[in-house]
Amino acid sequence: MKRILLERPQRQHQAVVTVGSFDGLHIGHRAVVDRVKEIAGLRDGTSIVVTFDPHPRQVIVPDSAPKLLTSLAEKSAVLGRAGVDLLAVVPFTKDLRKLGAEAFVDRYLVDFLGAETVVVGYDHGFGRDRAGNLDTIQGIAKKRGFDVVAVPPTLLDGEPASSTRVRAHIEVGELDEAVRILGSGYPILGSVEEGDRRGRTIGFPTANLALPSSKLLPPDGVYAGWVQEEARAYMAVANLGTRPTFNGTDRKFEVHLLDYEGDLYGRDVEIAINTRLRAEQKFDGLEVMKSQINKDIVEARRRLEQTSISMDAHNSTDGG
């Protein structure tokens, strides 16, 4: 997938476009993206997702903006695996916030990308104060000569899938419920930074991930998930917390890949966490801790082998 900064005309062949923040890229978002890909495939066109960076709320209400479910890098990784052709990133500014719905569509979708079809979700809002809706864009489409396709809500337990629902589950550590709405593991991507290598000395080498402060993390604890490394998805166990056994104070996110031999220092690593194993604990000595880690690994394998969800809904789970 190609990624561009959308600040000037970069018209695409038979452009099929959707636009939104897509925070979390849950199953409702994926239904919209899948429709974009389907239409583009039928027309031998270009499937395009237009999104914003930073997230609009970080500009509009910076002091009360919620933590992000997906950073731009995470969003790019998920959409790339989903088979989208182009991710077009619009820099969100205070000036852009003032742009009306019709002016936004004219500039970014029609003039800059040459949109021939625009796919929107059932509750799509855009333009100044999100005043533009489905009726608005259908009216603009008649004047500008492009098609509009509306995608109905994706219901789960009788309610539409939403980023709000995902966020509520992650905040309290209900990863299994969050994953049902996401349709994938919860992605956490960070750069592997130098640690104290204590894990390696006790037989469980870990990658210490540096994460942006804007990322929503679950409560401290031990989690299981998948890491895509080259052509293989590895099962992984991750610890989020202060490492009280070692009297730590800084919150760290450390990932141990099962059955992996290699060095990840200095690289970007993404783990898609699927389930919470337990709370973080303080142990009475290293042997007790090592015994519990071995139990965590056994339980992680058991749970991950039972799920069909790995890095995303399009991947299999044949790793480990």
- 160 cis-preceded (ω within 30 degrees of 0): no
Q: Is residue 252 located within the same domain as residue 289?
A: yes
What mean pLDDT is predicted for residues 143-149? 97
Which comes out higher in pLDDT, residue 248 or 184? 184
Comparing C-alpha atoms, which of 237, 254, 220 is closest to residue 299?
237
Q: Is residue 144 located within the same domain as residue 255?
A: no
Which comes out higher in pLDDT, residue 79 or 199? 79
Is the separation of the CB atoms in 296 and 278 below 8 Å?
A: yes
Helix/strand/coil percentages in the chain, nearest 5:
35, 30, 40
Which comes out higher in pLDDT, residue 308 or 260? 260
Q: What is the CATH number of the domain that holds 199?
A: 2.40.30.30
* The one catalytic residue among 74, 116, 254, 270: 254
In whole angstroms, what separates CA 81 from the centre of its chain? Answer: 11
pLDDT tens per residue, range 150-208: 999 999 999 999 999 999 999 999 999 999 999 999 999 999 998 776 777 778 999 99
Check pLDDT > 90 for residue 309.
Answer: no
In a domain, 175, yes or no: no
Helix or strand holding residue 5 (H, E): strand 2-5
Q: What average pLDDT does the chain have?
A: 93
CA distance 259 to 255: 13
In a domain, 55, yes or no: yes
Give residue 20's domain range: 10-159
Q: What is the CATH number of the domain that holds 104?
A: 3.40.50.620
pLDDT tens per residue, range 123-136: 888 888 788 889 99
User: Which of the listed residues 144, 159, 174 is the one where a domain comes to its end?
Assistant: 159
What count of other Cβ atoms lies within 10 Å of the Cβ of residue 208? 20
Q: Is residue 144 located within the same domain as residue 63?
A: yes
* 194 flagged as catalytic: no
Q: Is residue 190 located within the same domain as residue 297?
A: yes
Q: Is residue 22 located within the same domain as residue 135?
A: yes
- The structural domain count of the chain equals 2
Going by pLDDT thresholds of 50, 70 and 90, the confidence category of residue 317 is: very low
What mean pLDDT is predicted for residues 212-233? 93
**Phi (first) and psi of residue 28, to 5 degrees:** -70, -45
Going by pLDDT thresholds of 50, 70 and 90, the confidence category of residue 140 is: very high
Check pLDDT > 50 for residue 310.
Answer: yes
